Amino acid sequence: MKKSFFFFFALIFVVWVLTIIFALKHPLGEKEESDFNFATDDTILELDISGYGIYVNNEKIGYSISREKKTESGIRISETSFINISAYGTSQEITTYTVSEADKDLNLKSFYFELVSGKHTVRTKGVIKNDSIFLTTETSGGKKNTVFTLGDKPFVPASLEKVAQELKLKEDTVYNYSIFEPTSGEIVDIEIWKGGEESIEMNGKHYTTDVVIVQMLGFESQLYFDKDGKLLMESSPMGITMKREPLEEIANFAKGTTGLKIFETYAIYPEGTINNPRKSHHLIAELQGVAPGYKFQNDERQRYVNGTVTIDVLEPASNFSIEDIDKSKFTPFLESTNFIPCDDKEVINLAKEITGSSEATWEGVEAITDWLYRNIRKSPTFSIPYAKEVIKTRVGDCNEHAVLFCSLTRAIGIPTKVVVGIVYVDGAFYYHAWNEVYWGRWVACDPVFGQHLADATHIKLEEGTLLDFINVVKLVGQLHIKIIRSS
């Protein structure tokens, strides 16, 4: 079994960070026909087309092209991005499309986001009315409508370029906004402030730029504007950079090129080796490069003290019944979400079919693990994982396995988490996603490996939702590992 099936959680971070960049540059808008034009009676007063190369660690992996139309009614910005990912002989082109529409005062009115990766397509669109966002999310697994209530912070105006151009950001002032983050389907808070001047070199030229800093979910992006208020460059976590480039240079980027070599970029090669990692029950390792203030996961299975992590595989508690728990204390691990629709009739019926019962038993956990291992084809999908889509496609990497496993076990009443971290495969640690179920204690399971009890080389970094998982970005490219003991 190729290790490419395990590692692709890191790609979710790449797609996630890129999506945030696009959303911040041009918060999303509602899709229409006819090349996303305004109504025919709405004359275009100004049209601006700009292109950006997308780089990871100075290697070009794609591009984006944006079109800004200013009309008598307001402003509409559409943007198409393309990135190319390759790993272990598998190459995939990923395209995102975003559109934003705002009134003349730059108040966002509607948004649209589309991600296409091979046979996988995710569409999110919504309209802002009064104090609510009416949202529709669509994948091959179906369509779901949601209504969000806006908080007390204003939504980001039409684009950050417009914030810089029109609002005239002041020194020593922090501006608080909210933004809809399409990959997680959540409204999140951001802070924006002016960071002073900085000289940069780009395309062989020197520029004196005004730096605008955007902070969201604990990480920062730096946006560099020229003196006319045009965005020249954006620097984001994981070595991701976008640079303004001539359109003819953008057009010369050949689709089908190698693109981002995801294994070489994000693998962690430790000092020391682990023999028979899939049978490992005990691990001690030293970790260097943990970001200051990063809250490393500590629990009964995994202990982290002064840079050393110790992991022991846990068995489920004997003589335990799910009826013994106070379910009110486990609500977050039993709830249904867009990604984990455990209350969906199709999911519930599949869980009953797999386990042969609607009762919560440890044998049911084992049956679900075995079913996913045998029935979900192991293949990198380069997309956002939705359990309903996995049921239909029966294909996926660690992310798809984790969300479907979580949906099925929650459907029969077993508290379940999706967790992310790193796992040892063929001499290196790779970013990975797996699960934990509560059976008298939190027990780690990995349906990708077919493990009822995940081996000790699974080092947990985060648990929760995609918005929690983004904290792992602080460790990507920074971790160094020394194996002390494994058995």
**CB-based contact 112:99 (threshold 8 Å):** yes
Higher pLDDT, 87 or 424: 424
Question: What token pair was written down for 131?
Answer: 């104090």
Say which range, 146-155, 328-337, 381-390, has the weakest mean pLDDT.
Answer: 146-155
Least confident of 69-83, 172-186, 199-213, 296-310: 172-186
Q: What is the mean pLDDT of residues 44-57?
A: 76
The mean pLDDT of 233-256, rounded to a whole number, is 80
- Count of CA atoms in the C-beta half-sphere (13 A) of 379: 15
Average pLDDT value for residue range 7-35: 47
Please check the confidence at residue 33 and state whether its pLDDT lies above 50. no
Is 135 in contact with 150 (CB distance < 8 Å)?
Answer: no
Q: What's the confidence (pLDDT) of residue 114?
A: 87
pLDDT above 90 as % of the chain? 37
- pLDDT at site 467: 72
Residue 160 in tokens: 């950050």
- What would the mean pLDDT of 159-173 be, rounded to a whole number? 68
Q: Would you state the pLDDT for residue 239?
A: 81
Are 161 and 25 in contact by the 8 Å Cβ rule? The answer is yes
Q: Select the more confidently predicted residue: 161 or 202.
A: 202
Q: Strand runs (DSSP E) across 300-440, as ranges?
A: 302-305, 308-312, 377-378, 395-396, 416-425, 428-438
Reported as a single tens digit per residue, the pLDDT across 357-414 is 888 999 999 999 999 999 998 877 777 788 998 999 898 888 899 999 999 999 999 9
Whole-prediction pTM: 0.82
Residue 246 confidence (pLDDT) above 90: no
Using alpha carbons, select from 343, 357, 359, 332 the residue that is nearest to residue 465. Answer: 332
Question: Using 50, 70 and 90 to split pLDDT, how confident is the model at 43?
Answer: low
Gap between the Cα atoms of 458 and 462, Å rounded: 12
Q: Which CATH architecture has domain 267-486?
A: Roll (3.10)
Quote the CA–CA distance of 11 and 6 in Å, as a whole number. Answer: 11
Look at residue 357 in the predicted model and tell me its pLDDT. Answer: 84
Q: What is the pLDDT of residues 291-309, one digit of tens each?
A: 888 889 999 999 999 999 9
Distance CA 317, CA 315 (A): 6
pLDDT, tens digit (0-9, with 9 covering 90-100), for 249-274: 776 776 556 666 666 677 899 999 99
What whole-number distance in Å separates Cα of residue 61 and Cα of residue 54? Answer: 6
Give the best-scoring range by mean pLDDT among 46-55, 238-247, 261-270: 238-247
User: Average pLDDT, whole number, for the chain?
Assistant: 82
Q: Taking a C-beta distance cutoff of 8 angstroms, is the pair 452, 445 a contact?
A: yes
Q: Of 446, 447, 397, 437, which is closest to residue 417 (Cα–Cα)?
A: 437
DSSP state, 446?
B
Q: What sign does the CA torsion over 164, 161, 56, 262 have? A: positive
Mapping DSSP to helix (H, G, I), strand (E, B) and coil, where does residue 239 land? Answer: helix
What is the average per-residue pLDDT within 209-231?
86
Neighbours of 370 (CB within 10 A): 14
Q: What average pLDDT does the segment 218-222 reach?
A: 83
Band of the pLDDT at 32, cuts 50, 70, 90? very low
Please report which confidence band the pLDDT of residue 322 belongs to, taking 50, 70 and 90 as the band edges. very high
Measured CA to CA in angstroms, residue 32 lies from 35, 41, 79, 112, 288 at distances of: 7, 16, 14, 9, 50
pLDDT at 292: 83
User: What pLDDT score was predicted for residue 8?
Assistant: 43
First to last CA, the chain: 23
- Is a pLDDT exceeding 70 seen at residue 13? no
- For residue 341, pLDDT beyond 90: yes
Of 63, 54, 85, which Cα lies nearest the Cα of 262? 85
Helices (H) and strands (E) in the chain, counts: 10, 25
Q: Where are the domains of the chain?
A: 4-262, 267-486
> Per-residue pLDDT tens for 436-478?
999 999 999 999 999 999 999 999 999 988 778 778 888 888 8
Distance (Å, rounded) from C-alpha 140 to C-alpha 253? 30
